[in-house]
Structure 1
Amino acid sequence: MEISFLGTGGGRFTTLFQKRYTGGIRVDGLDNYIHIDPGPGALLLSNKTGLTPVLLNAVVLSHAHPDHYTDVEALIEAMTKAGTRDRGVLLSSRSGVECVDGFGPVISRYHRNMAGDVKVLDDDVSVELKNNVLIKSFRVKHSDPSSCGVVIGTPDGDIGYTGDTTYFSDLPNKLRGVRVLIMNVTRPLNSDITYHLSTNEAIRLISKVEPELAIMTHFGYNMLESGVEEQASVVEGETGVNTIAARDFMKVKVEEEIRITKKQSKILDFKSNL
C-alpha cells in the first residue's frame, strides 16, 4: 500500500492561509483507492499529483470540520463518475450525514444517494474492500462528538489514523498492532489544547502503541512555527520509535519494508500576514 499526503496542515489558521495544504490522505494499493478527510484542495491536488480521483472506491470522513470535509462531495462525484456509476463506498462520521449536537450534516442527501454504499462510522464498524483490505473505525474524543479514527488492515500490516482527538486512556488500545501510526498532532510541546493531540500526547500514544513507523501530520499554525522536524526528533528521542514529520506530497510505501519514496516541500511559497 502507498500512503500519499495531499496536505499536512490542519486547524483554522493553517487552513485559511494554506501554510500547508489540506487535501487529506490517499491510501492506494491492492486495487483499492481510498481518500481520507478530503479537505480544501483535495480535488485539485489529486489531479495535479496524478492521483486520479475517478479511481476511488472509498471516501472516508472522520468528522464535520471544514479542514476535513470541504471536498468530500466532489470526490463522491469523481468516485461515481459524476453519478453515472453505482460504485464506491462513503464511510462517514454520523455528523457527515445528520446533525449531531449542531455539527452537520455536511454531505447533501443528493451526494449520499450518489455513492454506491454509505456506512456510518462508530466503534467497531468494519467495511471490507478488495483483496483483504479492511477499514475499521473507532470513536475518538473531539468537539464533534461523532468523530472517528480508522485502522486500515492490509496483508502487509495495519495503518492507523487517529483523526482529530485528544489523548484518552483507550486510544492506544484502538491502535495497538499497527505498523504505521498516522497522528494528527496539532500543537507543539507543552502547548496542549482541548480536543487535539500535542507533541507531549503523541509521545504517550507512541510509547504504548509501539508502531514500526510514526508519522506526525495535520499541523496547526503554532506547531509549524515551532518546527515540526524538531518536534518529531523529540518524539523519536523519547520513544525510540522511528518518527517523522510529514511533508506535503510525501509518499510512504508499506510493503515488506516501509519506505519513504518521495519527500517534497509545498509547491507554493507562503508569506504570513499574521
Structure 2
Amino acid sequence: MEGYIKFFGTGGARFVALKQLRATGGLWLNYRKTNLYIDPGPGAIVRIRSSREQFEPASLDGIIITHRHMDHTNDINILIESMAEGGFRKRGTLFCPEDALAGDPVVFKFARKYLDNIVFFREGGEYTLGDITFRTPVRHKHPVETYGLLFDLNKTIGLISDTRFFPDLVNHYRADHLIINVLRLKPIENHEIIEHLALDDARCIIEGVRPETAILTHFGMHIIREKPWLLAKKLSSQTGVKVIAGRDGMKWEF
C-alpha cells in the first residue's frame, strides 16, 4: 500500500452539518510523501486534533476545495493557518474554483498570504503537487462552480463531488476506485434547485464505470436514517461491485 484516504467526515448538507449527525470534516489524502486535504468542512480541525491516530496539519502540502459551500469549506482558513504553523512558515498550495475567492470569499485574505500558491480549477485541468497528480475532468451541475477529482496514483481514484446527475459523469470518472457523494435517497426532480446525487444515480454510475471499489459518503438525513451500510450492501448485490458505506474515522488504504 502506497497511500490512504482518511475520512474525517461522511456527512453532507446543512442539516447533517448543523446537527453533526455525521462528522463533516472532509478527507485527508496521503500518497507516498505527499499529503492533501480535501473539503475541510465544519469541525475539520477538531476531528484532526482529536483523532486517535495522530495527524499533523503542518505536514500538509496542500488543500483542495471542490466548491465554496460551507459544508465543504467551513474550516478552510484555520486549516491553512495550521498548515502554515500559525503563519510563521509560509507553505502549501490551495486548489479551488475561482469563485471561492470572488465576491464574498470563503478563503480570507489573511489566510491567503500564508500560502505559497493558489491554483484555480478549470474543466479538463491537470495538476501536480509532489507525488500526487490529478485532474478536474468536468464542471459539475451545482449552484456554484464545482469540480470533482480524478487522481492518477498507483490506482486511478475518482471523487465525484456534489452535482446533479448527468450521463457524461460515467465517461468522465472511469477509475479503479470511486468515491461518490450521495446525499439523497430519491433522485431530484428537474425543477428542484438542490442539485445532489441520489442512491439510484450512484447505482447508474457504478454500473457504468464498474470500479473495483465504490465508496459512498457525504450522506444526507434520509440516507442516514436508512442506514448507509445496508444501502451499500444492497447496491453491491445490484451491481456486483464492492460498495462500501463510508464511516467517520475510516481509513481506506490503496
Pairing 1:167–2:165 present:
yes
Query: Is 1:192 the equivalent of 2:191?
Result: no
| Structure with greater contact order relative to length (CA < 8 Å, sep ≥ 6) | 2
- Structure 2 distance, partners of 1:207, 1:113, is 44
- 1:39 shift after superposition: 0.3
Task: Tell me if the contact between 1:187 and 1:199 (Cα under 8 Å) persists in the aligned partners.
Answer: yes
Distance 2:124 2:77 in 1: 25
Per mean C-alpha deviation after superposition, the further-off stretch among 163-172 and 104-113 is 104-113
Residue pairs, 1:66-81, within 5 angstroms: 66-81=70-85
User: How far is 1:191 from its partner?
Assistant: 4.8
One-letter identity of the residue aligned with 1:163: S
Partner of residue 4, structure 1: 6
Q: Find the residue that maps to 1:6 and give its secondary structure.
A: strand
Asked whether the 8 Å contact 1:93–1:147 carries over to 2, the reply is yes
Q: Distance in 2 between matches of 1:158 and 1:80?
A: 29
1:37 correspondence with 2:39: yes
Aligned pairs for 1:238-249 within 5 A: 238-249=238-249
The match for 2:87 among 75, 83, 92 is: 83
Distance in 2 between the 1:79 and 1:135 partners? 21
User: TM-score, normalized by length of structure 1?
Assistant: 0.86
Distance 2:147 2:112 in 1: 19
Q: CA deviation at 1:130?
A: 1.6
Give the whole-Å Cα distance in 2 for the aligned partners of 1:207 and 1:160.
Answer: 15
Q: Tell me how far 1:234 sits from its aligned partner.
A: 2.1
* Cα distance in structure 1, aligned partners of 2:182 and 2:221: 11
1:30, 1:130 within 8 Å by CA — same for their partners in 2? Answer: no
Q: Percent identity?
A: 33
Which residue in 2 is equivalent to 1:237?
Answer: 237
* Structure 1, unpaired ranges of 5+: 255-274
The equivalent residue for 2:152 is 153
Q: Distance in 1 between matches of 2:176 and 2:56?
A: 26
2:60 matches 1:56: yes
Partner of 1:271: none
- 1:180 maps to 2:177: yes
Question: Which amino acid letter does the alignment assign opposite residue 80 of structure 1?
Answer: A
Residue 12 of structure 1: CA displacement? 1.2
| Number of residue-to-residue matches in the alignment | 245
Moved more, 133-142 or 39-48: 133-142
Any runs of at least 4 consecutive aligned residues in structure 1 with deviations exceeding 4 A, and if so which?
Answer: none
Which ranges in structure 2 are unaligned for 5 or more consecutive residues? none
Give the counterpart letter for 2:184 in structure 1: R
